[in-house]
A and B are shown apart, each in its own frame.
Chain A
Amino acid sequence: MSEDTAATGKSYFTPFNIIAGLIVIMGLVLTVIRFTGGLAATTNLSDYNPWGLWIGFDLLVGVALASGGYVTSAAVYLFGMKKYHSALRPAILTGFLGYALVVLALHYDVGRPLRLPYPFLVQQGTTSLLFEVGACVALYLTVLFVEFTPVPLEWLGFKRARNLVVKLTLLLTIFGVVLSTLHQSSLGALFLIAPSKLHPLWYSPYLPVYFFVSSIIAGLSMVIFESTLSGRFFKHKMDETHLAEKDTIALGFGKAASFVLAGYFIVKVIGISAGNNWHFLQTGYGAWFLVELLGFVALPCFLYAVGVRDKNVTLIKWTAVWTVLGVVINRFNVSMIAFNWHLPASERYFPHWMEIGISVFIVTVGLIIFKFIVNRMPILYEHPDYKSAH
């Protein structure tokens, strides 16, 4: 189904394609600069700030927002909530693309792409959390790829291969949840080694718990968010089942997100109490912490609950956007804003425009691929040959 045919009269020069094309051209130029000029030519990273936007946004935010895959798989296959089945493939696709782009973004930060397999083949740092994160992300990306393969196999008509892969679903789901628990928490645990660098309101021995729980919240909210966007931009691709179940998914995932947000709020307060850090709430950083905790945790928790009680899907959809923004802010706070909080302003980090450009380029590549797949493959509809398969 080509978008550009003389019969339909449609052009490739849509606003999305033009803007995306310009971003891709910019991104390719910046890529050349990064791999020929090094970090100094394209970033504001330094010995004080070795991790910046590419870690804070592309890795931490990217992994958190790609968690819709394991959350939805767990809901459908482990908890038996079959009514959310239509959310599975979009969530798996988003997760697969998300993790793939996280690995792509990592290449920009690490800088020597051919050495990516080194932790597995040359020098295993088994005492390092980063080794565990790398191993889990690599394995989980493989799991997501295998979970996604039924889609192109259906599209290409390879029935036997498709049916064989589908039999692995439960095993892959269990493996995916285990791996996700490991690496989502370990990304937070990376900061345990820097108690003097991360502000006490964000630093806690419970950082792994914070990151894991907030990844569940991010995953639930992202599924609602991408369902909203799909309903807006890909409605013509959705079959009756997907259209009918959209609101059910929003209400169900909204209820889950509300409850998990409540639990997250409680563990954050317990973390402050355990460290006896109440006095920091009266500082400037404390005010910003309260903005994050009250404005982006407590408020969406309450708004989700009101939306679920009143069956107000619009409120739930806007709350999902707000919650995703809250997770982004949390990851930014831990990795950049509240990190090195004691340093003078001259030593603090702000991303170079080229770092921002590369991150925008990577997100745009993800959107382009997502659009390509959704427009051609059975993501938002069931393939007619497999309608009774679920």
Chain B
Amino acid sequence: MEGTIHTLQEFMFHTESITYLIIVAALIAITGFWLFLNGRDEE
């Protein structure tokens, strides 16, 4: 597969793929962060 982006479709596919992965990772991370933030409240 060529690395060069020729069309807007290819650009959007490339960027949105990475963005979706970041969003999924972020949702998992922020859940963990919420638990970290509230961790001592239950003690």
Contacts and interface: CB of A to CB of B under 8 A. Distances in A.
Interface of A: 255, 258-259, 262-263, 266, 269-270, 273-276, 305, 308-311
A269 B18 CA distance: 11
B34 A259 contact: yes
Contacts of A310: 40
6 contacts: A259-B37, A270-B23, A273-B19, A274-B16, A276-B15, A310-B40
A57 to B, nearest CB: 32
Interface string B1-18: 000000000010011101
A311 B29 CA distance: 23
Contacts of B19: 270, 273-274
B33 A262 contact: yes
A280 to B, nearest CB: 14
A273 B37 contact: no
Given A273-B22, A274-B15, A276-B15, A266 B30 contact: yes
Nearest to A304: B37
B18 A273 contact: yes
A308 B41 CA distance: 9
A258 B11 contact: no
A258 B34 CA distance: 10
B32 to A, nearest CB: 10
Contacts, number: 41
A309 B39 contact: yes
A276 B26 CA distance: 18
Contacts of A273: 15, 18-19, 22
A258 to B, nearest CB: 6
A231 B33 CA distance: 31
Main SS class of interface, B? helix
Interface residues of B, number: 18
Give the top 5 A-B pairs by smallest Cβ distance, nearest first.
A266-B26, A273-B19, A309-B40, A276-B15, A305-B37
Contacts of A274: 15-16, 19
A270 B11 CA distance: 15
Contacts of A311: 40
Nearest to B5: A276
B12 to A, nearest CB: 9
A276 B33 contact: no
A308 B18 CA distance: 33
Contacts of B34: 259
A51 to B, nearest CB: 30
A182 B19 CA distance: 27
A310 B36 CA distance: 11
Nearest to B27: A266
A275 B16 CA distance: 9
B36 A309 contact: yes
B11 A276 contact: yes
Given A263-B30, A273-B22, A305-B33, 13 more contacts: A255-B37, A259-B33, A259-B34, A262-B33, A266-B29, A266-B30, A270-B19, A270-B26, A274-B16, A275-B15, A276-B14, A308-B40, A309-B36
A247 to B, nearest CB: 15
Contacts of B22: 266, 269-270, 273
B8 to A, nearest CB: 12
A307 B30 CA distance: 18
A309 B15 contact: no
A305 B23 CA distance: 22
Contacts of A263: 30
Contacts of B16: 274
Nearest to A269: B22
A254 to B, nearest CB: 10
B17 to A, nearest CB: 10
